[in-house]
Amino acid sequence: MHHKLLKLYFTGSIAARDQYIKKYKQIIEHVHGSGHEIIADHILTMSEDEIHHKTRSERLKFHTKIENWIHTSDAMIAETSFPSISVGYEISLALRVGKPVLVLYCDGNPPSLLAHHRDEKLMCEKYTSSTLPQIIDNFLHYIDASSDLRFTFFITPKISAHLDNIAKTEKLPKSVYLRRLIENDM
């Protein structure tokens, strides 16, 4: 299905890591399991204490490293259930350099600053441990296909199920159905 090995960058709150570690790991392991690379060690291994005890120059070096990771990745996945200024900064940096970003949250509402952000490269998805794999797979497919000339866009598992259902009952290719909807709208 996937034509190339993708390199993703993962971020989430380090302050709330203990609370969300299972979720972080499920995200990271699913990407690995799909045969792609994901940069996540800094989130899994570094403590808040370690960050606070860095000297100013060490901290700047670390920021440069993060910026390089973002620049050299194909896309970013951010777990934002626990609000974090640095995660917000990383998301906006990724969008500024044109990287697709999947913002995941499992509680409450999407990050308010992002929920109203009109950027086709930004996807905000509420997930549970059972819906997560499909959401990540759709995102990976979107990144992989966005290098094609075809028009691809991100859909939720709910929309995907609806399209599958219509394709079965109407015996229509999904693309034909979608084109028809757009033509009716024009």
Statement to judge: residues 83 and 173 lie in one domain:
no
pTM attached to this predicted model: 0.77
Residues spanned by the domain of 95 = 7-149
Contact 135, 127 (CB under 8 A): yes
Q: Residue 145: inside a domain, yes or no?
A: yes
CATH code (residue 143):
3.40.50.450
Statement to judge: residues 138 and 166 lie in one domain:
no
Statement to judge: residues 140 and 172 lie in one domain:
no
Q: Which DSSP symbol is given to 24?
A: H
Q: pLDDT of the chain along its 186 residues, tens only?
A: 445 799 999 999 999 999 999 999 999 999 999 999 999 999 999 888 888 888 999 989 999 999 999 999 999 999 999 989 999 999 999 999 999 999 999 987 777 767 666 677 889 999 999 999 999 999 998 888 765 555 667 788 888 889 889 888 988 777 778 878 888 888
Element (H, E) at 1: none
Euclidean distance between CA atoms 44 and 28, whole angstroms: 10
Statement to judge: residues 104 and 175 lie in one domain:
no
Q: Residue 143: inside a domain, yes or no?
A: yes
Question: In terms of Cα–Cα distance, which of 124, 93, 90, 123 is closest to 108?
Answer: 124
